[in-house]
Structure 1
Amino acid sequence: QDRAELERICDALQLAAGANHRLCLLVESQVSGQETKLWRLGWQQPVLAYEICPAVSFGMVLRNHTAPALSDRRRLALTFARSLLQLYESPWLSERWDKESLQFFFQTSGDVDMRRPYISTSFDNFPIGSEPPDLNLLHRSRGILQLGLLLIETHTWKPIENFYTEGERTASQPTSNTDLQAAWRVHSSMRDCFGTYLSAISACLSVSWVAVGMRVSLEDAETRSGLYHGVVKPLEMEVSLAD
């Protein structure tokens, strides 16, 4: 197949902007001391059909669109959980990992493509290196907490802010701790889902698989393993039952 070597992936993305074709890239990993090479392959016909219009955030979808079938919501929750493992401890996460940064395209039918969310961010504002811990946060991992909130929002199809108490709504500046308190209240009142889904939410909110006093970081194999077995696997079980 015809191909051309690229110096930067951004060069290919600029070529693809506005093109009604599918961009195909080939990455050759380092073998026998050779450097990794990036190639742009020939254009192909698009597989997905999207409307050329602004994407919509998950927050906007929650506020303005009817809840999809429960099976679709479970698949979306599983996508969120797997994404956290794939993008852990990177500038894609932290405060950017919430319902406003998660985006969806519109299909030509006018429906939101719930199966292919993506994270929207600005590379100009990316932090350099690891972000400092938030010592005021009553949770040991902001990214895992955000996942727990997303699981609740995906099931209830309501923003977590809808579950604030009157006092929390009138507070001068709600914080992630406000979200955490609201999340525990919602979790304790959820009677319309299986225990597997509740356990996945609880695992995100408590991170009980890591001993008290120990660091919770997805850079550590123990944390990643706990997230997979405590969150991802229960969600996979629910999706398999739906199928």
Structure 2
Amino acid sequence: MSGIEIAGLVLGAIPLVLASLEFYADGIAVTKRYLKFKHDFKSMLVELKTENTMCINSITMLLIGVVKPKEMNDFLEDPCGDKWKDPKFEKKLKERLGTTYESYLDTIREMNNVAIVFKQRLKLNDSGQPQFTDQKTFKEHYKRLKFSIQKSDYGDLMSRLKQSNTALHRMTTQTISLEALQQSSKLHRAQAIPKFNVINDRAHGFYSALRSGWKCPCHANHSVSLRLETRMDDVASDDDSEDSDDESMRDPFHVLFRYSHLHAASPTSPGSPKPWTWEEADVRIVEKQSVPTPAASGPGPKGVRFASQARNAVKAALDPNSNMKPIQDLCAAICTLQQPQREVCLELLATEIAKQKYGVHIYPEKDPPQNPEAWTVKSLRHVLQDSKFTRHDRLRLAVTLASSVLQLHETPWLDDNWSKDQIFFIKRSDKTIYDHPFVSQHFNTTQQSTPTPLPAALTRVIRNQTLFALGVSLIELWYGKHLSELHKLEDGPKDTGDIMNDLMTNYATADRLVDELYSEAGGKYSDAVRRCIRCDFDHRAKSLEDATFQKAVYQGVVNQLKENFDFLY
């Protein structure tokens, strides 16, 4: 017998004891000799009825939401029925009770043991019924069976029953309260938007610092690749205080520094090798705090000042930057990492620290990259055709790209008209890491790429170019094909070389596929694609700089893609 079946037995056992007590009470009433026990016996009967009602209520509360409303009566009216034996039912209860499950069953077992002893002391038969049916013969059977009709003889059982019932009630109400809190917290997190504005600001600051970080004559050969992350858990906590040092990112940026394959040997040393190839690092972008003067800071509340000082003291004690090394040139600093000693934090940039809004702390990987000369870069355009790039990989990437759009929009890392050609993967040791996509930037100061603006006539059709690009990528990821491969003649001429015509054709193809997706990809994924392609968010605003619009995109696109992925995998 499974543990939860005992709960059904208790629901059936206590009413049997009650029915027997009522039968005995009626027998006492017709036997004048035992009338002195009538009041106490009735009192015990009332107490047991109360405990039985509490038990039923507790178990009913637990069943609500676990069993269907139309099946509730079947569970309560047939406590020993087959429904209590269903493994699926027990699994649902176990999930609901969580860590309370075993304690709950132990309490139920104790109540069942009390019911068993009650039956024994009342001399009931195996079916839990009195061994006689004629109340007028109560005196005769009372002497024969020798059961007690004094309340005091059942006091220990009533005490055990009350204690168990109280524990059962408390565990049930706590379980329901915790469930409500968890649902509320889940709803809050679903409605809350991660700190994308903070991440976006840090991404701007990081790029700005990198542009001034290459002091070497070979800067045109260098690139920095920024790994794309979902960062959906980077949400402000209710415990975050207003006077915390800053709105910081929970996790650092992860980057790859590359000495480009375009490197050429100098005329004076034609055979000179590259000083380095690849380096991998975590980068923390920290907002620099100005130190207030006593006159400017004022006295302030003593408690708040002490709390702030205490937090700062703890942070200072845990600060991993004890090996901080201020640097002026990234290339020269990376060259030093070729030496065995790599446990260092590079602070960029020492000579321009006063000009920077943020401090840039670079933490190289503890171990040097393995065989970096063999590393190669593959764009999403090429990866889409890779048979090893599974649908699981593609749908996971869909979530990452959608979240990354909110993090990096309108930064140099992600153009408005980005595409599969700007998303990269690193192939190491003959294996492409599909769950680590990157965007990349070269730092040739003489060549600054400027994004092509959307023709004015198209802005009424493609209301947000960045989201349209995301929608196209989502379509390509679902089908595992380029948009051009999904083109039909009815969509218009393609690859004409005319920006206006080609964009209109791409829009027509994507818009057609939006409706076709619903029969293949399901509601959540298709809704996300539709909103991106048609900018269908029921908002006048169309800029991701608008907080309300950004939240609508997060809930209507990013969350939908994440829920779809979690459901499938």
Give the corresponding residue for 1:178.
505
1:146-185 equivalences under 5 Å are: 146-166=469-489, 167-169=492-494, 171=496, 173=498, 174-185=501-512
Give the corresponding residue for 2:158.
none
Query: Structure 2 CA distance, aligned partners of 1:126 and 1:117?
Result: 22
Query: Structure 1 CA distance, aligned partners of 2:214 and 2:397?
Result: 29
Q: Post-superposition shift, 1:91?
A: 3.3
Q: Give CA deviations for 1:111-166 in whole Å, capped at 9, x if unaligned.
A: 32211111234453244xx9755313221011000000000000000000112223
Correspondence 1:205 to 2:533: yes
Q: Post-superposition shift, 1:99?
A: 0.9
Query: Structure 1 CA distance, aligned partners of 2:400 and 2:214?
Result: 26
Root-mean-square deviation over aligned CA pairs? 3.3
Give the corresponding residue for 1:134.
455
Q: Give CA deviations for 1:57-87 in whole Å, capped at 9, x if unaligned.
A: 111222x312633222111000110110001
CA gap of 1:92–1:185, structure 2 versus 1, over 3 A, is same
CA gap of 1:39–1:189, structure 2 versus 1, over 3 A, is closer
Give the corresponding residue for 1:59.
381
Which structure exhibits the higher relative contact order, with contacts defined as CA atoms closer than 8 Å and separated by 6 or more residues? 1
Query: Structure 1 CA distance, aligned partners of 2:375 and 2:408?
Result: 27
Between stretches 215-224 and 137-146, larger displacement belongs to 215-224
CA gap of 1:38–1:100, structure 2 versus 1, over 3 A, is closer
Q: Post-superposition shift, 1:31?
A: 2.0
CA gap of 1:47–1:145, structure 2 versus 1, over 3 A, is same
Counting aligned pairs with the same residue, the percent is: 23
Q: Is the 8 A contact 1:24 1:41 kept in 2?
A: yes
CA gap of 1:122–1:50, structure 2 versus 1, over 3 A, is closer
Aligned AA (1:164): H
The DSSP-based 3-state class of the residue aligned with 2:506 is helix
Give the corresponding residue for 2:45.
none
Q: Which runs of 5+ in 2 are unaligned?
A: 1-208, 223-256, 260-275, 293-353
Between stretches 64-73 and 189-198, larger displacement belongs to 64-73
Give the corresponding residue for 1:37.
359
CA gap of 1:73–1:23, structure 2 versus 1, over 3 A, is closer
Q: Is the 8 A contact 1:203 1:230 kept in 2?
A: yes
The DSSP-based 3-state class of the residue aligned with 1:73 is helix
Aligned AA (1:55): V
Q: Give CA deviations for 1:168-221 in whole Å, capped at 9, x if unaligned.
A: 23745352221111012222222222210000001101222144xx34111111
Number of aligned residue pairs? 232
Q: Could you state the TM-score of these two structures normalised by the residue count of structure 1?
A: 0.79
1:83-122 equivalences under 5 Å are: 83-94=404-415, 96-108=417-429, 110-122=430-442
Pick the aligned partner of 1:227 from 525, 546, 553.
Answer: 553
Pick the aligned partner of 2:564 from 230, 233, 238.
Answer: 238
Query: Structure 1 CA distance, aligned partners of 2:372 and 2:471?
Result: 30
Q: Is the 8 A contact 2:415 2:466 kept in 1?
A: yes
Q: Is the 8 A contact 1:94 1:142 kept in 2?
A: no
Aligned AA (1:188): D
Between stretches 46-55 and 226-235, larger displacement belongs to 46-55
Q: Which runs of 5+ in 1 are unaligned?
A: 1-5
Give the corresponding residue for 1:3.
none
Aligned AA (1:61): V
Query: Structure 1 CA distance, aligned partners of 2:364 and 2:401?
Result: 32
Aligned AA (1:181): A
